[in-house]
Amino acid sequence: MSIVEIFILAVGLSMDAFAVSICKGLSVRKLYPRHSLITGLYFGGFQAGMPLIGYFLGTQFKSLITSIDHWIAFILLGLIGANMIRESFGEPDELNDSFSPSTMLPLAIATSIDALAVGVTFAFLNVNVASPVSIIGITTFILSAAGVRIGNVFGAKFKSKAELAGGIVLVLIGIKILIEHLFFS
């Protein structure tokens, strides 16, 4: 994967965290810099850690399913992207103004499950995982920290658009992987 493809993937993966960050920003009356820092660290850390876990899990099963790895990548990214697109048209989430570990940990896990699946695809596609994991984590940190501020200033009107854009990006990456393996390998 090129650095541009990794960055586009990172932005797509971070859209769930960005959308939740916007909601976190909406939920607080007085925003402090620590709110952005806490949000960025939780979401960026989990978005970096989950693909790493997925990669190591994927390498354990790689020899068993190498012949269908492109289909697995396509299906996983397609399902994740489709789910994000579906969620972008759903009802708004209830707002919670807490930044405690008991609030942030479940949000960080929930927004990074898709990154776990992407990590599995990295193993199947023989991607050197160090660079993508770093870029995904840093991108998510920046977008999540900014999302808190954006949510606090601008409101909920961007949440569904961010999820929609992220879902479309993931579906397109899945299609690209499938096309490359079917027609250009």
Tokens of 179: 């096309």
Question: How far is residue 172's CA from residue 184's CA, in Å, rounded to a whole number?
Answer: 17
- Tell me how far CA of residue 17 lies from CA of 95, 127, 146, in angstroms: 14, 24, 11
Per-residue pLDDT at 110: 82
Domains contained in the chain, number: 1
Question: Residues 21-80: pLDDT tens digits?
Answer: 887 887 788 889 999 999 999 999 999 999 999 999 888 877 676 677 677 767 876 776
Looking at per-residue pLDDT, the higher value among 167 and 23 belongs to: 23
Q: Using CA atoms, how far apart are residues 155 and 28, in angstroms rounded to an integer?
A: 11
Interval 7-23: pLDDT, tens: 999 998 898 888 888 87
Cβ contact 156:92 at 8 Å: yes
Question: What CA–CA distance (Å, rounded) separates 85 from 87?
Answer: 5
Name the pTM for this structure.
Answer: 0.72
Whole domain around residue 111: which residue ranges? Answer: 3-183
